Structure 1
Amino acid sequence: MQSIEKLDEIWQDKAIESIINFVKSADGDFDCIAELLNAVSDSDSLQKIVEFLSSTPQGKQAFQKRPLLGNIDLQKLHRLPINSLGYSFANHLLTNNLQPLQAKSVENDYDFFAAHIAETHDIWHIVTGCNTNVLGEIQLEAFYVNQLYASRFWLALIAKNLLKAVIYDIELSTTYMDAIAKGWTMAKQAKPLFGIEWNLLWETPLEDVRNSLNIILPNG
């Protein structure tokens, strides 16, 4: 049997290798994202995330009910008023030629957390006003770090972008840091987004959703 110390060393080597591969990859390489997620998502870290999110009534209820978006009719949502959350979500996906992410089977809290974050990722983009370009993704990653616990995965994503700036284009560092600051500050001001049953809010005006969550969009 391998010792705990040896297992930790193996885990660290795997995490370092995945981060190096991610830095070398093109932006948006989902295979590298999956590799990184697998490398840094140890059970202890996942349990800390669950405990952190369960500290709010909304988060605790989410883990109890495990609500999922289910099947989404984008065309139906796209017929809602243009100021609604549902229209904004559908228009975002249709404009970018994307399809809603379908959650796989959910058997435990960890499965639910992963499924919920995956299928609501684009909704968080819309509600927070974060673009889908590199700066927008960095801003949302910083938002995640604050709202979903400072897990290794989200911190690794931010670190990856900073390392790429160091290696390939240091001139990007200022805009990257600005994006991190904007996302972090917005998340600290906002109410928790995790566990919201977004499909009950499709017809609600986007501005009302933001106001109810105290989402204050940064200037510039």
Structure 2
Amino acid sequence: MQSTEQLDEIWQDRAIESIINFVRSADGDFNCIEKLANAVSDPDSLQKIVEFLSSTSQGKQAFQKRPLLGNIDLQKLHRLPTNSLGYSFANHLLTNNLQPLQRKSVENDYEFFAAHITETHDLWHIVTGCDTNILGEIQLEAFYVAQLYASRFWLALITKNLLKTVIYDIELSTTYMDAIAKGWVMAKQAKPLFGIEWNLLWETPLEDVRNSLNIILPSS
């Protein structure tokens, strides 16, 4: 039987290997993203995230109810007023030729956390105003790190992007650091986004949603 120290070393080696492979991959390589998520999502850090998010009534209730977005009719949402959250969500997906990322069921807190973060990712993009280009993704990654506490996965994504600038494109370092700072500060000012039942807010004006969450968009 392997000792705890040996298991830690195996996990660390696997995580390092995944990050290195990710640095070498093209941006948007979902296979590498999945491998990285599996490598760095250790039970200890996941439990810390669950405990941290459960410290708010919103987060605690989310883990109790485990609400999912359910079936989403993009065409129906696209017929809502253009200033609504639902329209903005549908327009974002339709414009980018995307489909909602959904899960049908979850069995435990860890599965719910992963499912909730996955299916609401585009909603976080919309509410935070983070673009879907590389700078917008980095800004949102920093937002996740600030809001999800021990979020090894999102921190690993930031690390990957910074390592890429070190090796391939150092001229981008300033803009990348600016994006990290903007996302971090915005997240610290904002109320928690985890656990919100977004499908109850489809008809709410996007500006009202942002105001209720104290989302202060950074200046360009």
Bucket of the pairwise TM-score, normalised by the shorter protein: over 0.9
Q: What's the secondary structure of 1:48's corresponding residue?
A: helix
RMSD: 0.6
Q: What's the secondary structure of 1:204's corresponding residue?
A: coil
Q: Deviations over 1:118-167 (max 9, x none)?
A: 00000000000000000000000000001111321111110000000000
Report 1:30-41 matches (<5 A).
Answer: 30-41=30-41
Retained in 1: the 8 A contact 2:144–2:151? Answer: no
CA distance in 2, matches of 1:104, 1:160: 31
Q: What's the secondary structure of 1:93's corresponding residue?
A: helix
Once the two structures are aligned, what percentage of the paired residues are identical? 90
Retained in 2: the 8 A contact 1:104–1:115? Answer: no
Unaligned regions of 5+ residues in structure 2, if any?
A: none
TM-score by length of 2: 0.99
Kindly provide the amino acid, as one letter, of the partner of residue 31 in structure 1: N
CA distance in 1, matches of 2:37, 2:168: 24
CA distance in 2, matches of 1:113, 1:91: 26
CA distance in 2, matches of 1:191, 1:41: 25
> Is 1:112 matched up with 2:91?
no
Residue equivalent to 1:2: 2
Q: Deviations over 1:47-67 (max 9, x none)?
A: 000000000000000000000
Residue equivalent to 1:190: 190
Residue equivalent to 2:76: 76
Runs of 4+ displaced beyond 4 Å = none
Q: Give the deviation of 1:105 after TM superposition.
A: 2.8
CA distance in 2, matches of 1:95, 1:81: 17
Q: Give the deviation of 1:103 after TM superposition.
A: 1.1
Residue equivalent to 1:25: 25
Aligned pairs, number: 220
Residue equivalent to 1:153: 153
Kindly provide the amino acid, as one letter, of the partner of residue 125 in structure 1: H
Kindly provide the amino acid, as one letter, of the partner of residue 39 in structure 2: A
Residue equivalent to 2:199: 199
Q: Give the deviation of 1:79 after TM superposition.
A: 0.1
Retained in 2: the 8 A contact 1:190–1:216? Answer: yes
CA distance in 2, matches of 1:135, 1:52: 27
TM-score by length of 1: 0.99
